[in-house]
Amino acid sequence: MKPKLLDLFCGAGGCTKGYQLAGFYVVGVDIKNQPRYCGDEFFQMDAIEYLKKHGHKYDVIHASPPCQAYGKTKHLAGNHPKLIKEVRDLLIKTGKPYIIENVPGAPLNNPLLLNAAMFGMLVLRDRLFESNLPLPLVLLPQNPKPVKMGRPVSNGQVIQPVGNFSGIDYARKQMGIDWMTQKEIAQAIPPAYTEFIGKHIIKLI
């Protein structure tokens, strides 16, 4: 039987797909309906409330709290919640292995940084991962310079899939998330990130 992983704030399932590829049965939870969610089960519910009620039932818990309050454009983000501490405290209370994912600048503890260049992808998508299990050390390649926002995208160019970006099909192919819309891609991380982390964690549990 596959170990069961809970993916909180799952969106359309970029993280979910990676954990599935690593060998987990994945249950996603999001406050918004996710008709294209790729996981094994989905619950539309407030992620924090679901964690409080059901977190103890899972072998591993992943959480991707909203990142808008922590990123480079946080001054443009408006009044977005800062949920990382609350989520971390609840994850610790479950006693389960956990992973928290967020953007550079987020207040994560001793996080692992991954980028798309590590996986040979022509996109910019740096992300941090905190865990109460030891994560591997990696030596990251340098991020290349992306094509300017709004410009047409050609093969071999690096894009930054945020906002109303160009090259949707190109981003889908590079990130390995061909089921997502433009808006979903802009919020997602490539499954390769959590496949890498998931293959490491599944050996430790």
Q: Are strands 98-102 and 60-63 parallel, antiparallel or unpaired?
A: parallel
Task: Fill in the DSSP letter of residue 100.
Answer: E
Give 111-163 pLDDT, tens digit per residue.
999 999 999 999 999 999 999 999 998 989 988 887 666 666 778 888 888 88
Please compute the mean of the pLDDT values over residues 11-19 and round it to a whole number: 98
Of 52, 63, 62, 133, nearest in space to 94 by CA:
52
* pLDDT for the residue 144: 82
CATH number of 4-141+188-201: 3.40.50.150
Whether the per-residue pLDDT at 18 is higher than 60: the answer is: yes
- pTM for the full predicted model: 0.92
Give domain limits for the chain. 4-141+188-201
CB contact at 8 A, 75 and 97: no
Give 60-110 pLDDT, tens digit per residue.
999 999 987 676 655 555 567 789 999 999 999 999 999 999 999 999 999
